[in-house]
Amino acid sequence: MNKVIDMKKDKTIKHIILASTMVMILLWINTFIHQNSFSEGLETFTYIGHSVLIAAATIFYYWTLSPLFEEDIFENSTRLYTTVTVLCGVVILFLLFLELGTDAISVYGQREIILWAFAIPKRYAFDIWAIVVFPSIISAFFKVMQKEKYTLSAVTAGTSSILFITLCGYMIFMAMPNIWLVNLMILNTISVGLAIHKYYDKRIKKLNAIAAVILYAFVHMGVLPFVCTNAFIYEGDWDYLTSGISVIIKNASFFGISNYLLQSEYVHSFLADNNKPILQILYYGGWISVVAFIILLLIFMYLILKLLGIENRYEHRNWVVFSTAALHFSIRIIMGLLYSFGFPFPIALPFLGINYITDTIAFTLLLIGAWENHKISQFLKIESSFLDAADVFAIQDEYCITNESGTAYTEESYEEDVDIIGKEGTIIHCSTEWYMLKERIFCVFSEKTLETNCQRFILEYVQTKWKALENTESDLEKNVIREYLVEHKPSCMVSDGGRDDEDN
C-alpha cells in the first residue's frame, strides 16, 4: 500500500488571511475617505466594528441554518417544486392585493419592504437575494432535475420554476434604480450558468447547455425594458459626473495633491460627500496611489477566485452560492473601476460604499466556503494518507503502543492520544479511532502533527496484542478505510460523493 502522499500544500488558509487583510485595507480606505471628505463625522472604528459584528452574525446564522440544508429536505422531486412554486405564486398575488389595498404592506412598489411597523431597505435585501437565496434555489432545482435524469417533464417543471423565481426577483426589486436590475440580470445568469455547469451530465448536449444559458440571458433582456423605470442607467446628472471626473483626472499629480485640485472650489464641492473612491484617492495621493489601489483590488479579485476552490466544485454542496458571491465581487471590482473613470455602469467598488454591510456578508460566506473547501481537500487526501504499519515500524509479530502516561495502550475509549516508537526510535504522537468489522477490532492511528498531511495506519487489536494486517487482508483494510472515510466526511460535501459522470 505504499502510496505517495500528495504533498502539494493547501494554501487556502494563507489565501483566507490575505483576503481578510485586503478587506481590512479597503475598509480602512473607506474610513479615511469618510473621515476627510464626508460631513458625517465618522468614528475611527465604526466601519471595522460593524463589519466584524456582521461577519460574526453571518457565521452564526450559517452555522445554525446550514444543517437544515444538509438533510436534503428540498431534494424530493420537480413535482414538489412545481407545487411549492404555485403556492409561492398565490402568496405573491396575495401580497400584491394587500399592497394595492393598504399602505401598511409594500413588497413591490417602494425601495423598502414595508410590513406594518417594519421597513427593510431593499438595498440590504438585494445581495441576500442575488447571492444566497436565488443560487440556493437554482442549485436545488438543478439537483432534482439531474436526479430525475433530465427527463422532459423534469426539465419543463424545473425551467418554469426557475423562470418564476427570476420573475419574483424582478417584482421585488423593480422599484430600485435600473443598475440594480441590470446587476440582478447578470448575477442570475451567472448563477444559472454555474448551476448548469455543476449539475451537467452526459445526458445533456454541451451546446444545449450553452444555449440554455444564452436563452436565459435573453429572457432577462426581454423582461428588463418592462421593469426599468427610465431610459438611462444612471439616475443623477451624468454630464456633471463625467465633467467632474475629467477635471480631476486631467489635473491630478503623479504623487500627492496637485496645486490645481487644492485650489479648485469646483473640485472640492464635487468631492464633498461624494462616494467616488478612485477620485478621492487621486485627490489625496495622486496617480501613484491610484495605481497601488488598483493593484490591491486586482490581487483581492485573484484571492477571492482562488478561495472558490474550483477543483472541489462537484463535491461542494453550496458551491453555486459561493461562486456567485465571488463573481459578484469580481464584477464589482472590474465595472466599479471602469465606472470610476466614466464608464456608464454605476456600481460601487466592494467595501467602499454604503453597501459594505452586504459586502461583508458576501465575503464572510466566501470565507466559510473556502474553509469548507479546505476541509473537502483534506478529506480527499485521507485515503492516500494510509500507510502500511511496516512503513512506520520495523516488521514485528506484535507492536508496542503506550498511552500518554507510558503504560501499555489497550482498548479504553473511542479516541485517545498515544505514543508510538517508530522505525529509528523516534516517538510518534498519534490519535486513535476504533472500528469493529466482522467481530474483529481495528484501530486507526493518525499522526498528530501541525502539517496538514498527516500519516495514518491500521493495527488490529487481538487479545491485548497489536498486530499488523496481513497482505492477504487488503479487502478488510479497504473496509476499515471506508468506515473511517464515512466517519470523517465533511457535512458540506454532497451526499452522493460528487458528480455522477466524471468523464464529462
Partner 1 sequence: MMKIIKKAKNLLIKNKLWMVVIIIITIVAGGFIWKWSLNMLSTNFENHSINVMVNEETTTDGASDLTYWGF
362 belongs to the binding site for partner 1 (CB under 8 A)? no
Which of 1, 18, 31, 46 lies at the binding interface for partner 1 (CB under 8 A)? 31
Q: For residue 289, give the 3-state DSSP assignment.
A: helix
Count of residues near partner 1 by CB under 8 A: 22
Contact (CB, 8 A) for 456 and 447? yes
* Neighbouring C-alpha atoms within 13 Å toward the C-beta of 41: 0
39 belongs to the binding site for partner 1 (CB under 8 A)? yes
Residue 100: burial class (beta carbons within 10 Å; 0-12, 13-18, 19+)? exposed
- What is the H or E stretch that residue 447 is in? strand 440-447
Q: Show the binding pattern over residues 211-250: x = contacts partner 1 (CB under 8 A), - = does not.
A: ----------------------------------------
Q: Which range touches partner 1 (CB under 8 A), out of 27-35, 99-107, 119-127, 186-194?
A: 27-35
Backbone Cα Rg of the chain:
28
Residue list 282-301, contact with partner 1 (CB under 8 A): 283-284
Contact (CB, 8 A) for 233 and 182? yes
397 belongs to the binding site for partner 1 (CB under 8 A)? no
* Neighbouring C-alpha atoms within 13 Å toward the C-beta of 245: 18
Q: Which range touches partner 1 (CB under 8 A), out of 33-41, 147-155, 157-165, 186-194?
A: 33-41
Which of 32, 62, 74, 260 lies at the binding interface for partner 1 (CB under 8 A)? 32
Q: Which is nearer to partner 1, 248 or 459 (CB)?
A: 248
How far is the first Cα of the chain from the last one, in angstroms, to the nearest whole number?
30
Q: For residue 366, which of 140, 62, 11, 138 has the smallest C-alpha distance?
A: 62
Which of 156, 269, 410, 491 lies at the binding interface for partner 1 (CB under 8 A)? 269
302 belongs to the binding site for partner 1 (CB under 8 A)? no
Which of 1, 38, 483, 488 lies at the binding interface for partner 1 (CB under 8 A)? 38
- What minimum distance in Å lies between the beta carbon of 361 and partner 1? 21
Which of 19, 26, 30, 37 lies at the binding interface for partner 1 (CB under 8 A)? 37
Q: For residue 226, give the 3-state DSSP assignment.
A: helix
* Neighbouring C-alpha atoms within 13 Å toward the C-beta of 106: 17
DSSP state of 352: S
- What minimum distance in Å lies between the beta carbon of 99 and partner 1? 36
Q: Which range touches partner 1 (CB under 8 A), out of 42-50, 58-66, 87-95, 149-157?
A: 42-50
Which of 11, 14, 44, 412 lies at the binding interface for partner 1 (CB under 8 A)? 44
Task: Encode burial over 368-406: b for 16+ CB neighbours within 10 A, e otherwise.
Answer: bbbbbbbbbbbbbbbeebbbbbeebbeeeeebebeeeee
Question: Rounded to whole angstroms, how far apart are CA atoms 158 and 184?
Answer: 20
- What minimum distance in Å lies between the beta carbon of 38 and partner 1? 8
Question: Rounded to whole angstroms, how far apart are CA atoms 78 and 143?
Answer: 10
Q: Which range touches partner 1 (CB under 8 A), out of 221-229, 260-268, 290-298, 326-334?
A: 260-268
Percentages helix, strand, coil for the chain (3-state, rounded to 5) are 60, 10, 30
- What minimum distance in Å lies between the beta carbon of 373 and partner 1? 20
- What minimum distance in Å lies between the beta carbon of 278 and partner 1? 15
257 belongs to the binding site for partner 1 (CB under 8 A)? yes
Give the three cell numbers for residue 3: 502510496
Q: Which residues pair with 430 in a beta bridge?
A: 418, 447
- What minimum distance in Å lies between the beta carbon of 39 and partner 1? 4
Question: Rounded to whole angstroms, how far apart are CA atoms 351 and 357?
Answer: 8
Contact (CB, 8 A) for 501 and 199? no
Question: Rounded to whole angstroms, how far apart are CA atoms 124 and 36?
Answer: 26
Q: Which is nearer to partner 1, 69 or 284 (CB)?
A: 284
Question: Rounded to whole angstroms, how far apart are CA atoms 281 and 349?
Answer: 13
Q: For residue 187, which of 173, 199, 203 has the smallest C-alpha distance?
A: 173
35 belongs to the binding site for partner 1 (CB under 8 A)? yes
Q: Which is nearer to partner 1, 404 or 487 (CB)?
A: 404
Q: Show the binding pattern over residues 426-465: x = contacts partner 1 (CB under 8 A), - = does not.
A: ----------------------------------------
Which of 268, 423, 478, 482 lies at the binding interface for partner 1 (CB under 8 A)? 268
Q: Which is nearer to partner 1, 14 or 268 (CB)?
A: 268
Which of 24, 214, 292, 408 lies at the binding interface for partner 1 (CB under 8 A)? 24
Which of 120, 272, 354, 394 lies at the binding interface for partner 1 (CB under 8 A)? 272
Q: For residue 443, give the 3-state DSSP assignment.
A: strand
- What minimum distance in Å lies between the beta carbon of 268 and partner 1? 5
- What minimum distance in Å lies between the beta carbon of 420 and partner 1? 16
Task: Encode burial over 276-310: b for 16+ CB neighbours within 10 A, e otherwise.
Answer: bbbbbbbbbbbeebbeebeeebeebbebbbbbbbe
Q: Which residues bind partner 1 (CB under 8 A)?
A: 24, 28, 31-32, 35-39, 44-45, 48, 257, 262, 265, 268-269, 271-272, 280, 283-284
